Amino acid sequence: MPQILPDFSSSVKLKYVKLGYQYLVNHILTFLLVPIMAGVVLEILRLGPEEMLNIWRSLHFDLLQVLFSSFLIIFIATVYFMSKPRSVYLVDYACYKPPVTCRVPFSTFMEHSRLILKDSPKSVDFQMRILERSGLGEETCLPPAIHYIPPNPTMEDARAEAETVIFAAIDSLMKKTGLKPKDIDILIVNCSLFSPTPSLSAMVINKYKLRSNIKSFNLSGMGCSAGIISIDLARDLLQVYPNSYALVVSTEIITPNYYKGNERAMLLPNCLFRMGGAAILLSNKRREKSRAKYRLVHVVRTHKGADDKAYRCVYEQEDPQGKVGINLSKDLMVIAGEALKSNITTIGPLVLPASEQLLFLFTLIGRKIFNPKWKPYIPDFKQAFEHFCIHAGGRAVIDELQKNLQLSAEHVEASRMTLHRFGNTSSSSLWYELNYIEAKGRMKKGARVWQIAFGSGFKCNSAVWKCNRTIKAPMEGPWQDCIDRYPVHIPEVVKL
């Protein structure tokens, strides 16, 4: 409960007052309309039918006026319908499930670490502490090239991983939706750290023999929030091209980016990043409306790159030995919090019900005019969304967002369990989380989902989806064989 309310905020009576207030403000139009309609109906009843007919005749309509008015109405209606943005539907999506031979238990990871970094025991201990508190489970997967002692990944290994992950996800999607390769009009692939020539999107076009006039894009270097950036790009393209299918592939290829040095700040990604990928089919075709799972409502992108600290927060560089890795700065959480605030400020007015917005407005006025010491009102986003998918960047990110947005454990369950089962799969983690919610049978028609992702730069991007049809569990997918074991309790510190 927000701090501005008096101390008896836990009292039941106040809860009903708040409910009443919300109901009133959110349905204000209905409440205003009801007395007006009542008045009109009473007036009509009083006048009687003959009176009504007399009033009608006295209006003196002639043909020209009638025609003109009707054309005006038709014209306004047409302009309205034409200027409405095309609805973008998410037909279906598929997440990659890595093979069991790629599994990396904690003990194996630590053993390899000790064998490879035998000259830096402090770095090994640091990795162990990170792993203990990471929130990962024993079933996360690393690509085959990283299982070697020492790992010696070649470009061929990286391409092999890309092919395995991307083709498996696309094959699964095609099987689910019946999509033919020749039907794909737009292709967007995002993979932040591996960008070969020819691009990964060219690799997909080559494998599936896609059309020669396909609009293909390959986004690299954009971090973990690139998934939402790809969705945004697809949406914009679908406004320009009518009747199209857009295939979006989000993945992160771990093989070439395994840090081989011993700088602590750069060892963190080794502990958290794991293999994963997702393929998503979007469309603006009207006939997909019946079978689409979701409709895209909003995409909000916030970039804090103008601030130097935010820009350098996640920075790829060489360590003193010349080994390349990603350096995570210590004020990552603070910057993430600020980026989130920025994003919320933009998305709030779009999604929050009128009651929350009014409260926020009143508190804002109150702080400016009456008493600056009033705590700012944090809008209750649980009223705007039924489900939350917070990018599983790490336990700290999920904890921070849970605190800031005042979410319950059930709201962040999808994020925590995805982190436990699959690790941080970067841009595709949002899709694993969404899949978890569906696999648990919690996705009902009309539910609104909020996907939030952070990325290097520093960016905070959100997407809002509305569920189009109730999704029945059980279903095929990466959670198929383990959903019954979840949710699990994840201890603060796992003893290794």
Partner 1 sequence: MMAEVKSSRVKVPSLLTVVSSKPTAPGRVHKFTALDHAMGFHTGHIVFYYRRNPIRDGASMENDLDNLRISLSELLCLYPPVTGRLGRGADGNWEVKCNDAGVRMLKANVCATLDEWLRYANAAEERDLTVWEDLPDDPHIWSPFRIQINDFNCGGLAVAISFTHMHADFTSATLLIKSWAEIHRHEPVAHPPIFNLPSVINESAAYRRSSSMFSETNSEFEIPSVRMGRATFKFSEAKIRQCLSKVHESCPDATPFDVLAALFWSKITRLKSPACDDDNKCSLSMCIDLRKRERDSIPYGYFGNALHFSKLSVNAEELQSDRLAYIAGLVHQHVGSIRDEEFWANVAWLESHKKEGGQYPPPFQLFGCELTCLSMENTISSEGSFTYAAMFKQNEKPIHVSYHIGNVGGEGLILVMPSPEEGLARIVMVTLPEEQIVKLCEDQTILGLQPSMLLNGKQ
**What residues act catalytically?**
224, 303, 387, 391, 420, 424
- Does residue 467 contact residue 449 with C-beta atoms inside 8 Å? yes
CB of 122 to partner 1, least distance (A): 17
Stretches 9-17, 74-82, 142-150, 306-314: which one binds partner 1 (CB under 8 A)? Answer: 142-150
Rank residues 96 and 388 by Cβ distance to partner 1 and give the closer one.
96
Supply 254's token pair. 């771990």
Q: Does 125 sit near partner 1 (CB under 8 A)?
A: no
**Using rule CB under 8 A, residue 135 touches partner 1:** no
Q: Is 143 in the site for partner 1 (CB under 8 A)?
A: no
144 binds partner 1 (CB under 8 A): yes
**Does the protein bind partner 1 through residue 440 (CB under 8 A)?**
no
C-alpha dihedral sign at 182, 186, 192, 195: positive
- Cβ 102 to partner 1 shortest distance, Å: 9
457 binds partner 1 (CB under 8 A): no
Question: Is the backbone of residue 86 left (phi > 0), alpha (psi -120 to 50) or beta?
Answer: beta
CA distance 315 to 221: 11
Assess 101 for contact with partner 1 (CB under 8 A).
Answer: yes
**Minimum CB distance to partner 1 smaller for 101 or for 213:** 101
485 binds partner 1 (CB under 8 A): no
Residue 108 Cβ, how far from partner 1 at the closest point, in Å? 5
Q: Distance of CA 479 to CAs 174, 220, 249, 372, Å?
A: 19, 28, 19, 49
Among 45, 64, 100, 369, binds partner 1 (CB under 8 A): 100
Q: Find the shortest distance in angstroms from Cβ 151 to partner 1.
A: 9
Q: Where are the beta strands (DSSP E) in 220-351?
A: 245-252, 276-283, 294-303, 314-318, 324-328
Residue 173 near residue 179, CB atoms below 8 Å? yes
Rounded Cα–Cα distance for residues 60 and 163 (Å): 74
159 touches partner 1 by CB under 8 A: no
Nearer to partner 1, 103 or 295 (CB): 103
**HSE of 151 in the Cβ direction (CA atoms, 13 Å)?**
23
* Residue 148 CB, nearest approach to partner 1 (Å): 5
Q: Which residue of 107, 154, 243, 408 would you call a contact of partner 1, by CB under 8 A?
A: 107
Q: What distance in Å separates the CA atoms of residue 108 and residue 119, rounded to the nearest whole number?
A: 18
Instruction: Tell me the window of 20-28, 95-103, 201-209, 377-385 that interacts with partner 1 (CB under 8 A).
Output: 95-103
Report the residue from 125, 139, 232, 331 that binds partner 1 according to the rule CB under 8 A.
139
- Closest separation between CB of residue 107 and partner 1, Å? 4
Find the shortest distance in angstroms from Cβ 480 to partner 1.
Answer: 15
Q: Please report whether residue 318 would count as binding partner 1 according to CB under 8 A.
A: no
Check residue 148 for interaction with partner 1 (CB under 8 A).
Answer: yes
Q: Which helix (H) or strand (E) holds 169?
A: helix 155-177
**Continuous H helices in 242-379:** 264-272, 308-311, 332-351, 354-369
Query: Using the rule CB under 8 A, is 147 a contact of partner 1?
Result: yes
What count of other Cβ atoms lies within 10 Å of the Cβ of residue 77? 10
One residue of 27, 86, 103, 367 binding partner 1 per CB under 8 A: 103
Position 493 contacts partner 1 (CB under 8 A): no
In sequence order, which residues have a C-beta less than 8 Å from that of residue 472 and are 6 or more positions away? 441
Contact set for partner 1, span 342-371 (CB under 8 A) = none
Report residue 114 as tokens.
Answer: 């000790």
- The distance of closest approach from Cβ of residue 163 to partner 1 in the complex, given in angstroms and rounded to an integer, is 13
20, 85, 105, 376: which one binds partner 1 (CB under 8 A): 105
Backbone angles phi, psi at 353, to 5 degrees: -70, 160
DSSP secondary structure letters along 175-207: HHH---GGG--EEEEE-SS---SS-HHHHHHHH
Stretch that binds partner 1, among 105-113, 198-206, 319-327, 367-375 (CB under 8 A): 105-113
Six-digit token string for 363: 């508190």
C-alpha to C-alpha distance for 275 and 268, rounded to whole angstroms? 16
Q: How open is the CA angle 225-229-235, to the nearest 5 degrees?
A: 150
Q: Least distance (Å) from partner 1 to the CB of residue 484?
A: 14
Give exposure, 336-373, as e/b (b: 16+ Cβ within 10 Å): bbbbbeebbeebbeebbeebbebbbeebeeebeeeeee
With CB under 8 A, what is the number of residues at the site for partner 1?
20
Q: Is 108 in the site for partner 1 (CB under 8 A)?
A: yes
Q: What is the DSSP letter of 485?
A: G
In the bound state with partner 1, the residue whose beta carbon lies nearer, of 36 and 100, is 100
Candidate residues 112, 304, 391, 421; the one interacting with partner 1 per rule CB under 8 A: 112
Which sign, positive or negative, has the C-alpha torsion 312, 301, 361, 23? negative
Q: Is 492 in the site for partner 1 (CB under 8 A)?
A: no
Residues that bind partner 1 in the complex, under the rule CB under 8 A: 99-101, 103-108, 111-112, 114-115, 137-139, 144, 147-149
